[in-house]
Structure formats: C-alpha cells, structure tokens
Homo-oligomer: A and B are copies of this chain.
Amino acid sequence: MKVSIIGATGYTGAELVKILLRHPRVEIETITSQSFAGKKISEVYPWLSTDLVCQSLDVERIVSFSSFIFLALPHGASMEVVGKLYLRSKRIVDLSADFRLDHPLVYEKWYGVAHKKKDLLKQAVYGLPELYREKIKGARLVANPGCYPTSTILSLAPLLKFDLIKEDSIIVDSKSGVTGAGRKLTLKTHFPEVNENLSAYQVGCHRHIPEIEQELAKLAQKEVKITFVPHLVPLNRGILSTCYAGLKDPPQPKDLVKAFEDFYREEPFVEILPQGCFPQVKDVVNSNRCQIGLMVDEKKRQVIVISTIDNLGKGASSQAVQNMNIMCGFEETMGLS
C-alpha cells in the first residue's frame, strides 16, 4: 500500500517515517515538508536510512499516487488539507488536534481559530483503538489522540467504564519529556534552561484538557471535569501520568487490578502490572506500549493509577500506525513490535 506523510520533518512526522519504513505492507510514496522541500529527509534526520526527498505539499499529486495519508501538521493547518483528501476518498490519520473535538465551538475556544470543516467532524473517529476499535475499522478519517489524552484516558477508562470512581474527583499529574514540545525553538526548551530543571506549565489550562474530558465523559456517560497539571522533565521521550481519584462503592483492592486486566485483556499494547508494581518510562520508550500500575488506598477510599507511554510512540506516531493497521485490515501489531 502506498502511503504519504504530510508534514514529515517534525518529531512526530520523522517518527512516522521511521516506523513506516520497516512496515512490511507499506511503501512510503511521498513525504512533504514546508521547511525542507527539496532536501532528503536523511539530511534533516541522518538516523533515517532512506533516500526519500521532502516535497512541497501538492494535494493532487498525493491523491494520485497514495491511498493512505498521514498528516502531521500543526493544528489549524491540518483541517483544510484533510478536507481535500477526504473528498478524494482517501483514508486518513490526522495527528493534529483538528478533528479530535466533537464540538467546533470547543475547538475554537481552546485553539483560537474557527473550525473550517465542521461537517467532517462527524465523520472523524477518535483514534484510541482500546476504546474505538470497531469504529476505526470502518473509518476513513481518524483523529489520532494527543499524547497526554492517550496517557490519561487509558489510565482511567476502566474506572469510569465500571463506574468505580467519583467523576468530579479526578486529578491527573503528568510529566513529559521535551520532544512533547516539538521541534520549534523556544527558550523553555533551550538546553541550559530545561536541563537540571523541572517545572509545571499551563497549569489547569492545557489544550489537551477538553479532549480528555470529552472522552472521559463518554466513558462515564456524564460530564467529567478533571484537574490536569502537566510538567516538563529533562529527558527526550516519555510521559508518566500519576492519576488520583476517589472511589465510589467499595470494590476490593484485588478487584481493581483485575478490573484493569479484564478491561485490557485483549489489548496487545496495554500491560497491567501486578499489584504493588509501577511503571517507568524507559520500559516503554521507542515502543507502542502503555504500562499501567495501580494502588488502592482503602482508608482514603482512593485509587492511584500510574501509566507510562512514549509521547512519540503510543502518544503519537506508533498509535497512528496502529490505527492504519486497523483501518486497513492488517494485523494490528504489524510493524510495531
């Protein structure tokens, strides 16, 4: 199958190229880059062993030669391109935020621009396979989840689905490596500023909040408002989210680990750790895995769930490929383990 990647020279785009180059059923047809058009991507990322040359974006050319397209463009820039590709009957995974939120006004509020393809929002499927596998199978447009939402929703889904926690008690304290902030130069990501440093940012106002709350609400079948504080940590890759929630009716502690195991039993990329064990990011970096450990505090009637993913893996590019595998009827783990 011939695929194209629009926006291939950001960190998520390059990671996509890396994964797709070794995917047995895929041939990369076109990669585009605004900044590096005309250059081999191996000039930008010499660790990529390929002769692929970055093109300017030419939608006509892409629709002629590719049947599957990934978009790794900044939010706002993605929706119009998606619109054109969709019209031409292509299958699409969009890694931007443009089609993740159901309601265009919510999008406008958090991203500061009006949504230009409201009609398509209804067609888009939220690309978290653990929740929406069946819908993804039939989808033509998949909105690939954000990194924090993937980490958070996987941590909390069984608890909300089984109605175990108080919906208004959820606190998510996330810690992310610096690639999560992208390749754009900022003082915050200048080496001497972030090395040997540690800080919270966008406390209570991060753009991933509405996306998380939207999906948690569907699981809970009622509105959910979370407290979410992301932190920047001096490492390249990885997210560790520590989630706290108050328990509803008394389930037994053992039940909770079992509930998670049951919920994710068939999932190839989610691992529930044994009672008393908690994950660390180095075990999931460079993979599509999510590891989850949890603990119940009976006295406080509280559960702590800790999960880890690679923000560029399950949090972005490898999850995008997992979605492609599902959409195309390939084995779901193909090229990912």
Contacts and interface: CB of A to CB of B under 8 A. Distances in A.
Nearest to A46: B283
Interface stretch (A57-65, A137-145, A300-308): A300-308
Nearest to A301: B168
Contacts of A283: 45-47
Contact of A47 (B173, B244, B282, B295): B282
Contacts of A300: 168, 225, 227
Contacts of A186: 185
Copies per assembly: 4
Contacts of A171: 171, 244
Interface size class of A (residues with CB under 8 A): 35 or more
Contact of A304 (B178, B192, B229, B238): B229
B304 A236 contact: no
Contact of A190 (B175, B191, B204, B280): B191
Most buried by B among A46, A178, A240, A284: A46
Contacts of A197: 235, 238, 280-282
Given A198-B281, A282-B197, A306-B200, A192 B178 contact: yes
Contact of A337 (B11, B49, B199, B238): B49
B285 A240 contact: no
Given A11-B192, A204-B297, A282-B47, A242 B229 contact: yes
29 contacts: A45-B283, A46-B279, A46-B280, A47-B285, A47-B286, A49-B337, A173-B173, A173-B242, A175-B175, A175-B231, A179-B192, A183-B190, A185-B186, A185-B187, A189-B192, A192-B236, A196-B196, A196-B285, A198-B282, A199-B240, A199-B280, A199-B281, A200-B278, A203-B306, A204-B304, A227-B304, A231-B240, A244-B244, A286-B286
A-B pairs, top 7 by smallest CB distance, nearest first, are A199-B280, A46-B283, A185-B185, A197-B282, A173-B173, A178-B191, A47-B283
Contacts of A225: 299-300
A76 interface: no
Interface of A: 11, 45-47, 49, 168, 171, 173, 175, 177-179, 183, 185-187, 189-201, 203-204, 225, 227, 229, 231, 233-238, 240, 242, 244, 278-287, 289, 291, 295, 297, 299-300, 302, 304, 306, 308, 337
A12 to B, nearest CB: 12
Contacts of A193: 282
A141 to B, nearest CB: 30
